[in-house]
Amino acid sequence: MTEKPEIHTHSQTFDVLDESGVGLTGGESLLDERERALVVGAANFHALTRPGQTIRFTVLRGPQGSLPSLTDRETGAIEWEDDREVVGSVVFRSLVHTTVAAVDADGLVDLVVDVGGSEQTASAYHQLPGLAGALRRAVRFTVPVQFDALRQYRTDLVEKRYRARDVPRKAGVRIARGASATDQGRTPAVLFGIHWLELGGAERWAVETVQLAKDAGLTPVIITDRPSGHPWITRPEFDGAVVVPLTLPLTPDHESMLLNGIMANYDVRGVHVHHCTWLYERLPWLKAIRPDIPVVDSLHILEWRTGGFVDISVRVSNVVDRHHVISPQLRDYLIGKQGIPAEKVALATLANLTAAADQPAKAVAADKPFTVAFVGRFTQQKRPYLFLKLAAELKDSAPGPVRFVMHGDGELSGEVHGLRGRLGLSEALELRGPDRDVSDTLAEADVLVISSDNEGLTLTSFEASAAGIPVVSTDVGSQASLIADGLLCPRHPYPFIRTAAARIGTMMDSPEQRERWLVEQRRKSAAFAALPDARSWVRDLYRGWNS
């Protein structure tokens, strides 16, 4: 492993020979830290797929909202769109060797990489193309609750059909050893597959495991496969990690070259897949080449209508050694519904909670209005418009004065502001951004509402238990593990609003009932928190890999 001390961003796969504008060797830079990290990520990819070769990058920046192009076929073309500006040029040599004999490194490979533009927040609905898209968008934003009702019926229908069929399975690998073609590297490493490096529950956990790998003395080699500007790429957990942010489609032979490059440069002790389709789909090949490398994946949520990563995982289960799941629901799905042997499934939760059951209950202040809170990102999954509709309902029907706090931000922020006015909630409903502490909101709240369409496991429910407030939630995902039975509401919008309003009304009328629900919720939180802990599980796993 060679490391040039003057290189700002740690690299183990290439050596910078010259550069301009990028700022890798400490000179003037036109790129910000995130963009520079993307260039390093692209260089990692091309160094791994072109062992020993010398490569020149011409670095482009696209307009706002455009996505990076770092590893796809387009990078071989030396012309680009009119709106791309050239912001850097860098020449580097790959330090990777995939064969015993040295590679001819004389030829220069010229590539054009695009770091994309700055981020733009828009929901999937905003990106729907064509007339049909415009129509759907118009309906979605004009009558969000009615539209949601239709969506839920569609979910019911498609789920029923989808769940009736078996998930197809990839056959396993029978050989215990793949024919050896290359020497393997000496640096012990973990190969990670991550969706993208931006906000999300699965990503938060993935980033933690990257740190845990480093703590265990293993170098994280991270493949991501989703188009993204990767805002988290600059996080300190990635210092010392080798990030390979794929932009697809790759040139077909680059797929094996990338994985061969990684195995030649590192002593890969294990593979940990976090929601990464590209890596899931290459696991059979990886197992064929190196059956000795243990493969583990972490699963978070069973997605509506497709099963999502859980079903991809089920499909390739024959080449996965352990499935780590964060909820009893997923454990039961894998073992009970999909027939995966119980010994292959490890339940280890991300509860990370202490003392939830011991704190005194927070009493409702008699002189203040009853406060109903929503804490979460304003995204389609969280359905903030349902909370607003519930607020409007409660404003009219609640047995006493009531106020509302919505704490969050996200792609539906515009809709939330608009609906607040339309539903006449400007006075009664306070909006709070991420600049405020969630703990402040919880301290003021008398009840927390979770209106999500689907959830893995809401950590805010634990926080609410700790803060002494009951949670009213849709009965989705693993919410039944944390929420009192009586406070679980249907997923369909109108029944949800009806049930949630009735329960909150009951709480306002009867502090005793509110207390009973809270006790049950805390009992559930405490029992859940006693389940095996994911951090310890992964720590032990990685230690085993590095022993």
Which stretches of the chain bind another protein, using CB under 8 A?
Answer: 327-329, 331-333, 335-337, 339, 475, 478, 480-481, 524, 527-528, 531
| Rounded CA separation 416/387 (Å) | 10
Report the C-alpha gap between 375 and 24 in whole angstroms: 40
Least Å distance, CB 335 to another protein, is: 6
Taking CA atoms, 252 is separated from 94, 258, 285, in Å, by 20, 10, 14
Report, in Å, the least distance between residue 480 CB and another protein: 4
- Cβ atoms of 491 and 535 closer than 8 Å: no
Measured in whole angstroms, the distance separating CA 230 from the mean position of its chain's CA atoms is 11
CB of 454 to another protein, least distance (A): 15
* HSE-CB for 390 with a 13 A CA cutoff: 35
Nearer to another protein, 333 or 378 (CB): 333
Nearest to 244 by CA among 286, 197, 209, 297: 197
- Which residue, among 287, 97, 267, has the nearest Cα to 191 in the 3D structure? 267
Q: Pick between residue 311 and residue 332 the one whose CB is nearest to another protein.
A: 332
Closest distance between another protein and the C-beta of residue 209, in Å?
Answer: 24
How far apart CA 221 and CA 298 sit, in angstroms, is: 16
Q: How far is the CB of 414 from another protein (least distance, A)?
A: 36
What's the Rg (C-alpha) of the chain? 25
Nearest distance, CB of residue 313 and another protein, angstroms:
17
Minimum CB–partner distance for residue 341 and another protein (Å) = 10
Measured from the CB atom, is 410 or 477 closer to another protein? 477
CB contact at 8 A, 388 and 413: no
CB of 457 to another protein, least distance (A): 11
Centre a 10 Å sphere on the Cβ of residue 36 and count the other Cβ atoms it contains. Answer: 22
Q: Which is nearer to another protein, 483 or 500 (CB)?
A: 483
Residue of 212, 175, 387 lying closest to 288 (CA atoms): 175
Q: Cα 55 vs. chain centroid, distance in angstroms? A: 32
Smallest distance, another protein to C-beta of residue 328, A: 4
* Residues 6 or more apart in contact with residue 246 via CB below 8 angstroms: 45, 70, 71, 223, 224, 225, 278
Provide the residue type at 477 as one letter: G
Closest separation in Å from C-beta 472 to another protein: 16
Q: Which is nearer to another protein, 66 or 481 (CB)?
A: 481
Distance CA 124, CA 126 (A): 5
Q: How far is the CB of 483 from another protein (least distance, A)?
A: 10
CB nearer to another protein: pick between 339 and 424: 339
Contact 367, 397 (CB under 8 A): no
Residue 231 or 328 having the CB closest to another protein: 328
CA 453/CA 149 separation, integer angstroms: 11
> What's the angle, vertex CA 152, arms to CA 330 and CA 475, rounded to 5?
45
Query: Please, which residue, 331 or 382, has the CB nearer to another protein?
Result: 331
**Beta carbon nearer to another protein, 87 or 350:** 350
C-beta closer to another protein: residue 48 or 302: 302
User: Which of 142, 138, 119, 122 has its CA nearest to residue 130?
Assistant: 138
Between CA 58 and CA 235 the distance in angstroms is: 25
Q: Which is nearer to another protein, 331 or 432 (CB)?
A: 331
Distance CA 16, CA 25 (A): 8
